[in-house]
Amino acid sequence: MGTDKPARGKGYPAGASCITSILMNDIEIKLNLDKGAFCTCVGKDYIQVILTGWKNHLLPIEGVQFSSASNNTYPLGILDTNLVFTHPQESVRMKTEILIMDNCTSQEILFALRRPAYPASPRAREALEKHIQELIQLGLLRKVGHNEEVEVTKPVIISWHNKKSRMVEDFRAMNTYTVQDRYPIPRIKETLTQLSKAKYITSIDALKGFHQNVLTPKTRKLLRIITHCGIYEYLRSPFGIKNAPSHHQRMMNNIFPTELSEGWLIIYIDYIIICSDSWSLNLERHARVINKATGVNMEISLKKCNLGFEEFKALGHIVSGLSLGIDKNKLAAVLLKLIPQNKKEMMSFLGFSSYYRQHLKDLAILAKSLYRTCDQQTVFEMTQERIKAYDNTRKALTEAPLLLMPDWNIPFKLYIVKCGDGLGAALHKVQIIDDKPTEGQVRYI
């Protein structure tokens, strides 16, 4: 890969670039990582050599004209395609949108790294400015100077939920060509069932979890955001990065290896749970965890901590050492919503229902017709059958039973049910009334 890095203190001119090779449709082509371009584009003559049927998948656009150094070019449309960045250890596949240009003589794909700021309403601009000032005061963000090199920028949007604003960075492009960190994240169901027989439970939540990870100067340049009020650089890890959860889980596991091996500590990314059989033991373990956390300068959110509870809310559930139930506050927000009006809203409802699948009997059968509405080949329509299925699924959520925590020292039986509408399975403990099982009972087990 070649580069034409400018002299220190000088910015990149439009078109400054790095050239690399990638695969498209199993054909090796040149990719120009353009630090001045604002959109990824390619000439129609060049794409014709690689994808002969590209016109059949083109989303046309009209009335737009661009200017290059030599002539005027006209966009024919947008094409969704896959690019493969080859690497000896692991190749990276990336899906991206490419603008197909007419009258473009370039024999390469121009891949935009520097993106412009998104347009925003006055209300969104005001909210964005408040979020940026808050992050600067917390030492998480700094403004990039006018004489600094700016190679990569990510736009920012403001999302609203329950009249509260949230700053969301658009890291989608970078995430698609980031090699995935496959460090395992604990399963929530398995995590919560580890609380079986715990009499006292303490939960500790790290303050702004990912923001506690310091970034190297090299990484900061890739995480620069652009807004209407300037370009800013993250000093600590932001939310929305592809490998942030895996990295944070690894870091937490490395901080508490002994406690995890002893079986009384549970960590789910930035959420810590301590299980104890007695109050004195709970205090001892709590102090042990806090001492280790403060030793690595980890900040704790006191508002989200629970000390020595027999029952508390965690990960959308009501958890105790004996049972596991659905958090009714999480449920109320969903039940107050109207019937889904499009596929996105339906997928959101089904995702919520599936999260509590273990509490819902025959969910696959109840929601069968609802899942069909999410098919890309199906036109979204809420028929009477689907409205009834939606109501039945909501009713099942409101009537969901408490689940008893399993005793892993008792044998289990696996029950499987199969029919034309779905496949189900459940584990049941084998109940033995007698304290000492007979020979026949042992054979039955």
Contact criterion met (CB below 8 Å) for 183 and 246: yes
What is the structure's pLDDT at 73?
Answer: 66
Using DSSP, state whether 271 is helix, strand or coil. strand
Q: Which long-range contacts (CB under 8 A, 24 or more apart) does 255-262 make?
A: 255/292, 255/293, 255/296, 255/298, 256/289, 256/292, 259/285, 259/288, 259/289, 259/292
DSSP 3-state of 383 = coil
What is the sign, positive or negative, of the torsion defined by CA atoms of 333, 334, 338, 340? positive
What percent of the chain is predicted at pLDDT more than 90? Answer: 7
Q: What confidence category does residue 315 fall into, taking pLDDT thresholds of 50, 70 and 90?
A: confident
Q: Which residues of 271-292 are buried (b: 16+ CB within 10 A; e: fewer)?
A: bbbbbbeeeeebeebbebbbee
User: Per mean pLDDT, which range of 137-146, 280-289, 428-437 is the poorest?
Assistant: 428-437
pLDDT value of position 199: 85
Structural domain of 192: 188-212+235-325
Same domain, 54 and 91: yes
Q: CATH no. for residue 332?
A: 3.30.70
Which of 75, 90, 112 is the C-terminal boundary of a domain?
Answer: 112
| Burial class of 168 by CB neighbour count within 10 A (0 to 12, 13 to 18, 19+) | middle
Both 195 and 319 in one domain: the answer is: yes
H helix runs in 228-342, sequence order: 244-255, 257-262, 279-295, 328-335
Same domain, yes or no, for 248 and 283? yes
At residue 437 the predicted structure's pLDDT band, cuts being 50, 70 and 90, is very low
Domain assignment present for 10: yes
Q: Which residues contact 62 (CB under 8 A, 6 or more apart)?
A: none
The CA–CA distances, whole Å, from 140 to 124, 245, 390 equal 21, 18, 43
DSSP helix/strand/coil, 309:
strand
Query: What does the alpha-carbon distance between residue 366 and residue 188 come to, in Å, rounded to a whole number?
Result: 24
Residue where a domain terminates, one of 294, 325, 356 = 325
**Among 43-57, 171-185, 329-343, 420-434, the least confident range:** 420-434
Region 342-353: mean pLDDT is 88
CATH number of residue 302's parent domain: 3.30.70.270
Express each pLDDT in 172-195 by its tens digit.
767 766 778 889 888 887 777 777
Give the pTM: 0.65
pLDDT band at 433, cuts 50/70/90? very low
Is 78 in the same domain as 206? no
Q: Extract the tokens encoding 158.
A: 């403001």
Across 113-127, 180-194, 416-430, least confident range: 416-430
**Total number of domains constituting the chain:** 4
Categorize the per-residue pLDDT at 377 as very low, low, confident or very high, splitting at 50, 70 and 90: confident
Q: What confidence category does residue 440 fall into, taking pLDDT thresholds of 50, 70 and 90?
A: very low
pLDDT for 3: 41
Tell whether 359 and 439 lie within a shared domain: no
Q: For residue 290, what pLDDT band results from cuts at 50, 70 and 90?
A: very high
Q: How confident is the model at residue 406 (pLDDT cuts 50, 70, 90)?
A: confident
* pLDDT top residue among 83 and 405: 405
307 shares a domain with 336: no
What contacts 187, CB < 8 A, 6 or more positions away? none
Judge if 433 and 389 occupy the same domain: no
pLDDT of residue 87: 56
202/307 same-domain check: yes
Judgement on whether residues 245 and 357 belong to the same structural domain of the protein = no
Assign 151 a pLDDT band (cuts: 50, 70, 90).
low
Judge whether 156 lies within some domain. no
What pLDDT, on the 0 to 100 scale, is given for residue 254?
93
Could you say which DSSP state residue 392 is in? H
- Domain assignment present for residue 340? The answer is yes
438 found inside a domain: yes
Of 112, 130, 164, the residue at which a domain comes to its end is 112
Structure tokens at 307: 């000390």
Give, as one character, the DSSP assignment of residue 133: H
243/235 Cα distance (integer angstroms): 17
Average pLDDT on 26-47 reads: 71
Cα 142 to Cα 238: distance, rounded to the nearest angstrom: 13
Mean pLDDT of 230-237: 89
What is the pLDDT confidence band of residue 442, given thresholds at 50, 70 and 90? very low
Mean pLDDT (the chain) is 78
Cβ proximity of 402 and 417 under 8 Å: no
- What is the C-alpha to C-alpha distance for residues 40 and 38, in angstroms, rounded to an integer? 7
123 burial level (CB within 10 Å; 0-12, 13-18, 19+): exposed
For the cut 70, the answer to whether the pLDDT of residue 344 exceeds it is yes
pLDDT at 16 over 50: no
| Least reliable range by pLDDT among 78-87, 260-269, 294-303 | 78-87
Task: Inform me whether the pLDDT recorded for 304 exceeds 80.
Answer: yes
- Segment 187-215 mean pLDDT: 82
Pairwise pLDDT comparison (157 vs 149), residue with the higher score: 157
Q: How far apart are CA 115 and CA 112, in angstroms?
A: 7
Mark whether 23 and 92 lie in a shared domain. Answer: yes
437 plus 351 within the same structural domain: no
Is 288 in the same domain as 355?
A: no
Instruction: Give the least confident one: 194-198, 280-284, 382-386, 409-413.
Output: 194-198
